[in-house]
Structure 1
Amino acid sequence: MTAPAAPETPAYLELARRHERLHRFEHLESIAGWDQAAMMPPKGQEARAAALAELGALMHGQRTDPALAALLERAGQEPLDDWQRANLREMRREHRLATALPTALVEASTLATSRCEHAWRRLRPANDWAGFLEVFEPVLDLAREQAQRLADHQGLSPYDTLLDRFEPGMRSAELDGLFSDLRTWLPSLVSQVRERQAGEVVLVPQGPFPIEAQRRLNLEMMRRLGFDFEAGRLDESTHPFSGGVPEDVRLTTRYQLDDLMQSLLGTIHETGHARYEQNLPWAWITQPVARARSFGLHESQSLSFEMQLARHPAFLQQLAPLLVEHFGAQPAFEPGNLQRLLTRVHPGHIRVDADELTYPAHVILRYEIERDLIEGRLQARDIPAVWDESMRTLLGLSTLGNERDGPMQDVHWPSGYFGYFPCYTLGAMYSAQWFAAMRRERPDLDAVLARGDLQPVFDWLGERIWSQGSRWETAELAQRASGARLDPAHFRAHLERRYLSEN
């Protein structure tokens, strides 16, 4: 239900009514997209792609209704409170982005990405780069056209317009500075940690781990992390993701019989996303102001769960008996071994399986490639060679001839999500900053976690991040939550504390 507005705000009330209607359409779009990735039979693909394209065109038409410009202008003169003014700001932003793109382009992009994402699920296991290129090049062409139209409209570079959709206010020049700083100290830290870990004995859990037992463990972990099963569910997909809407959050994971940690950590990661969505400001839930502020902030929530909490020694003390309960006792489930296992630094090909230290290299690689793709400095056919060169430079690995574990491994580009990848490392930086602020305010936080009490973390995130939605722009939200704008020094301090501390 939309928060009430005063009767002397007729233009604002009309805008709120229209956005409530859009929210209902977005609900249907999200659930149809989740079903397409998780449940839909293969022969439903063409019809589903056409339906989503039709729905996308319908929603775009509503967002670009010529009457909106006048309503937005009049609403700005009405007596609005702080939440309403923030909502109006977000409405204007949405209108500005929508009116830069013709409906036919939006419809064509939706159709192309639906087809490409569906084909990707079949082509990646076959390592069929040539087949993938056929369905990917139209997606890239349409993304470039969107980026150029947005650039002409906003006065930004083409890539920055796509980045801004996921991380409002962020620009590639700022990212370049953040990532350049990472490059100055991260390789040395990786080397130090690998040398330090060289003599460690690490036991890998021995399977097989029955899928149903893994699923029961995941559901139990979601309950402990506060997931509301009255407002969401867990399913399975090729690539783990969270979707749906705050009223009905859909999470997916994937299972392997010989590796329970992939599914468990993926589920914990997606549960962080879900807690954010389920705890957005409900009084405004049908309005733009109730949306998560940015995808970098969204990733900060999933990484707060997966990296900050799930690898904390106190958390692993609680996890160990659960593993024994679901899979039987084995030495690898001892808490100290779990700590060594989950903080093991080892460069690998797969981003979602990467350790905390080498993960940023995967993000930098993808960021630099997608920026050059959108700006026209790189063509799709050249991606494998550039990917291999970057992988060799950043991680000392090669992917030549192995596109399945190289540029085809992620769902983002097939889905047209150019500009998303930087949000992962921004999220890691933000999550380190959140926990630094928590520890300043509660010096006993680690002792509280050791008692198995996670509630102080949930309370802090709920009050400072979740409940705020998009009331504040990103920099101000960070300032209000933690006392400072984004400061990557917290990320470095966190990594050095976790990986180089004697404790």
Structure 2
Amino acid sequence: MSFAKLDVHLHKLEALEHALAILGADEATHMAIGGGEKRAEAMASLAGLHHRQASTPEIADWIADAENEDLDETKKIALIELKRDYTNLTCLPSEFVERQTGARMRCEQLWRDLRAKNDWTNFVPALENVISLVREEAAMRASVLGLSPYDAMMEQYDPGNRADMVAPVFDDLKSFLRDFVPEALAVQEERRAKTPPRPLSGPYAIEKQRELGLALMTAVGFDITHGSLSVSHHPFCGGVPSDVRITTRYKTNDFLSSLMGVLHETGHALYEQNLPKEWSHWPLGKARGMSMHESQSLFVEKQIGRNPSFWEFALPHLGQYLGQTWSMAELLPHLHQVEPGLIRVDADEVTYPLHVILRFELERELIAGTLSVSDIPEAWDARMRDYFGLSTIDNPADGPMQDVHWPSGAFGYFPSYTLGAMMAAQQWAAFERQHPTANTDLAAGNFEPINTWRRQNIWAKGSSASTPALLESATGESLNAIYFTNHLRARYGA
């Protein structure tokens, strides 16, 4: 039976995916700097091997035969998703995948070194090579998928989303934020004039911060027997569902920076750990795109982690692990601080969407070829001045070099962050309607109702439906930005 043949073959592919994921996580956390070149070679070879086996013509034959077999509904859906995945894989030749993987890894390794030196000039050639390959990839995908080059890249991270659908939503949000950011800042200033905030007075020992992070990530549902917490240059969630690797980075004068990173990545990890295990080797058993993934991470970080009810439960942990007693009134100004800044990952949830919109606009121009790599600093600075009133022209490390996405070739990913924030707010609103005791549960440290709802409505469904269909099934309506703007107004407005 052809479906059975596909099942066996996909188990073999899963083993290669496992190896690549763990090697990648190790490369970003524990690998000695001198191992970079050989690691890139090894992972490029493995990526090429995986691509050749995942795009072999026999798969197309097996899919065609399996479509005529007597399959149950779940297997039919699994076959549809595999066919979509196979079409996207076969857009690219294996030789190109191997060459591109090596270039991405070497560029990312160089980025880690040169960002620390604020050295844009020596970074440009490597980034130009990566973007040249991304444009080549986008063109190949576009010709097969019948999409524009940028849409073809977005399809890899968030199937079904298109730039012309996202751009108007982002334009409206940008318009809202231009008015709302000054309002939020004024409200904040008024509150602080009445009650000056207590400073985050470190130093906070890194090991104690790590213990705090582990305590809270396990409290919200992370299975520590199938995952770990490490340090990396840029926070991420990697590994595989049975061995999720999440990372953060620490500041000794600010425990909230690392903790919010831990909670964000824990949101990703919870999604991975609760995907349907019996379908883990099929595309059906994978997460449904990056906007859904980001909705899960932002649900934990924003809807839970910055919710005052959560801190009724979490405040005692600060005394236990950091040796400091904080009141809610003292901590909330830091959790809800609004401050236009240079760094996306440190941004508050009011200004964060503007960071994403900036990158979305620039990378569309980069893929189209209307913006050259050498002109990125000026284009970036112009938008930073416009959206934030800040300049990065002499500080590329905190400007266009701050994110790992472009060095690693991840173009089309950024829109997922803000789409995910909107979806997270909509999911929380739906959960609250069904569970009026949501905040009471949070205050008591009872996360099971929240996780049960997400497991049933999001996690266990894997990629059984499109992102819009999953969201509508979970919340009762299609994506509606009003939940996000209402959330911002309620938390930060007058």
TM-score by length of 2: 0.98
**SS of equivalent residue, structure 1 residue 226:** coil
CA drift at 1:93: 1.3
**SS of equivalent residue, structure 2 residue 123:** helix
CA drift at 1:184: 2.3
CA drift at 1:445: 1.7
Task: Tell me if the contact between 1:19 and 1:288 (Cα under 8 Å) persists in the aligned partners.
Answer: no
**1:48-127 → structure 2 map (5 Å cutoff):** 48-127=39-118
Query: Which structure 1 residue ranges, 5 or more long, are not aligned?
Result: 1-9
Partner of 1:255: 250
**For residues 47-102 of structure 1, what are the alpha-carbon distances to aligned partners after superposition, in whole Å with 9 as ceiling and x for unaligned?**
10000110011111112211122111111111222221121112111211111111
Partner of 1:422: 415
CA drift at 1:290: 0.5
Partner of 2:284: 289
**SS of equivalent residue, structure 2 residue 266:** helix
Distance 1:329 1:41 in 2: 36
**1:429-468 → structure 2 map (5 Å cutoff):** 429-468=422-461
Task: Tell me if the contact between 1:159 and 1:374 (Cα under 8 Å) persists in the aligned partners.
Answer: yes
Distance 2:198 2:69 in 1: 65
Aligned length: 490
Q: Is residue 161 of structure 2 the alignment partner of residue 166 of structure 1?
A: no
Distance 2:279 2:439 in 1: 34
Distance 2:39 2:210 in 1: 28
CA drift at 1:165: 0.4
Distance 1:351 1:175 in 2: 19
Task: Tell me if the contact between 1:83 and 1:289 (Cα under 8 Å) persists in the aligned partners.
Answer: no
**For residues 423-465 of structure 1, what are the alpha-carbon distances to aligned partners after superposition, in whole Å with 9 as ceiling and x for unaligned?**
1001100100101101111222223323332221111111101
Q: Is residue 267 of structure 2 the alignment partner of residue 276 of structure 1?
A: no
Distance 2:462 2:255 in 1: 34
**1:172-251 → structure 2 map (5 Å cutoff):** 172-199=163-190, 200=192, 201-251=196-246
Q: Is residue 341 of structure 2 the alignment partner of residue 355 of structure 1?
A: no
Aligned AA (1:287) = W
Distance 1:343 1:483 in 2: 29
**SS of equivalent residue, structure 1 residue 131:** coil
**SS of equivalent residue, structure 2 residue 180:** helix
Distance 1:43 1:184 in 2: 47
Task: Tell me if the contact between 2:263 and 2:297 (Cα under 8 Å) persists in the aligned partners.
Answer: yes
CA drift at 1:321: 1.4
Question: Greater shift after overlay, 64-73 or 210-219?
Answer: 64-73
**1:451-490 → structure 2 map (5 Å cutoff):** 451-490=444-483
Distance 2:436 2:229 in 1: 35
**SS of equivalent residue, structure 1 residue 208:** coil
Distance 1:152 1:93 in 2: 15
Partner of 2:134: 143
**For residues 263-308 of structure 1, what are the alpha-carbon distances to aligned partners after superposition, in whole Å with 9 as ceiling and x for unaligned?**
1110011111101000001121221100000110101111011001
Distance 1:192 1:474 in 2: 33
Partner of 1:344: 337
Distance 2:85 2:382 in 1: 38
**For residues 196-227 of structure 1, what are the alpha-carbon distances to aligned partners after superposition, in whole Å with 9 as ceiling and x for unaligned?**
11131222210010111111111111111111
Task: Tell me if the contact between 2:313 and 2:442 (Cα under 8 Å) persists in the aligned partners.
Answer: no
Task: Tell me if the contact between 1:202 and 1:340 (Cα under 8 Å) persists in the aligned partners.
Answer: yes
Task: Tell me if the contact between 2:422 and 2:480 (Cα under 8 Å) persists in the aligned partners.
Answer: yes
Distance 2:448 2:406 in 1: 37
Partner of 1:409: 402
Aligned AA (2:100) = S
Distance 2:357 2:463 in 1: 27
Question: Greater shift after overlay, 217-226 or 444-453?
Answer: 444-453
Task: Tell me if the contact between 2:221 and 2:447 (Cα under 8 Å) persists in the aligned partners.
Answer: no
Task: Tell me if the contact between 1:314 and 1:452 (Cα under 8 Å) persists in the aligned partners.
Answer: no
**SS of equivalent residue, structure 2 residue 212:** helix
Task: Tell me if the contact between 1:280 and 1:469 (Cα under 8 Å) persists in the aligned partners.
Answer: yes
CA drift at 1:17: 1.4
Distance 2:449 2:333 in 1: 26
Distance 2:164 2:307 in 1: 34
CA drift at 1:329: 2.6
Partner of 1:320: 315
**For residues 131-155 of structure 1, what are the alpha-carbon distances to aligned partners after superposition, in whole Å with 9 as ceiling and x for unaligned?**
1112111110000000000011111
CA drift at 1:188: 1.0
**SS of equivalent residue, structure 1 residue 130:** coil
**For residues 453-482 of structure 1, what are the alpha-carbon distances to aligned partners after superposition, in whole Å with 9 as ceiling and x for unaligned?**
222111111110111101111111111111
Distance 1:415 1:338 in 2: 36
Partner of 1:130: 121
Distance 1:344 1:187 in 2: 17
Task: Tell me if the contact between 1:101 and 1:150 (Cα under 8 Å) persists in the aligned partners.
Answer: yes
Task: Tell me if the contact between 1:12 and 1:71 (Cα under 8 Å) persists in the aligned partners.
Answer: yes
Distance 1:365 1:329 in 2: 38
Q: Is residue 291 of structure 2 the alignment partner of residue 300 of structure 1?
A: no
TM-score by length of 1: 0.96
Question: Greater shift after overlay, 113-122 or 201-210?
Answer: 201-210
Report the identity percentage: 44
Consecutive aligned runs of 4 or more in structure 1 exceeding 4 Å deviation: none
- When the two chains are superposed, the root-mean-square deviation of aligned CA atoms in Å is 1.1
**SS of equivalent residue, structure 1 residue 383:** helix
Aligned AA (1:485) = S
Distance 1:197 1:319 in 2: 23
Task: Tell me if the contact between 2:81 and 2:283 (Cα under 8 Å) persists in the aligned partners.
Answer: yes
Distance 1:260 1:118 in 2: 27
**SS of equivalent residue, structure 1 residue 117:** helix
Distance 1:403 1:476 in 2: 40
